[in-house]
Amino acid sequence: MNETSTIEDLLAEMYSQAKAQFGSAVKAYWFHPSEVCPGCQRTVDTWRHEGGDALSLNAFIYRERGVLIGYLLCEQCAKYIFRAAKKNPYQQTPLHTTIEQSLIAAYQRYMASLDA
């Protein structure tokens, strides 16, 4: 299985879990296909984590549209969020806000391109 299909499979699983938890509030999912981190604009690549290569696959629900948006983070942003979550579990950071704003804008551009 290649890396892309694995990400798609994982995102589909995340979508199924979100549907089970949030019901009709989640209507669809979309993967942001950029190789640029939505948090800091660095290139996203694999990094060493617990003895293996890792990617940080994440998702959030764009509530206005009911879309689960999946995305990858760079190592620096992923580690920042991991550290912040240990200090303050279940608390959003300013980086989360930046990521969500960036991804909502990307999703809106994507949807507009379908209408063109």
Q: Render pLDDT for 39-71 as a digit per residue (tens, 0 to 9).
A: 999 999 888 888 888 899 999 999 999 999 999
| Per-residue pLDDT at 1 | 42
pTM: 0.89
- In DSSP notation, 26-89 reads --EEEE---SB-TTT-PBP--EEETTEEE-EEEEEEETTTTEEEEEEE-HHHHHHHHHHHHHST
CA dist., res. 107 & res. 103, Å (int): 6
Domain ranges, residue 27: 3-115
pLDDT of residue 77: 96
Average pLDDT over residues 74-102: 95
**Dihedral-angle region of residue 92 (phi above 0 means left; psi in -120 to 50 means alpha; beta otherwise):** beta
Enter the tokens of residue 7: 């990400």
Total domains in the fold of the chain: 1
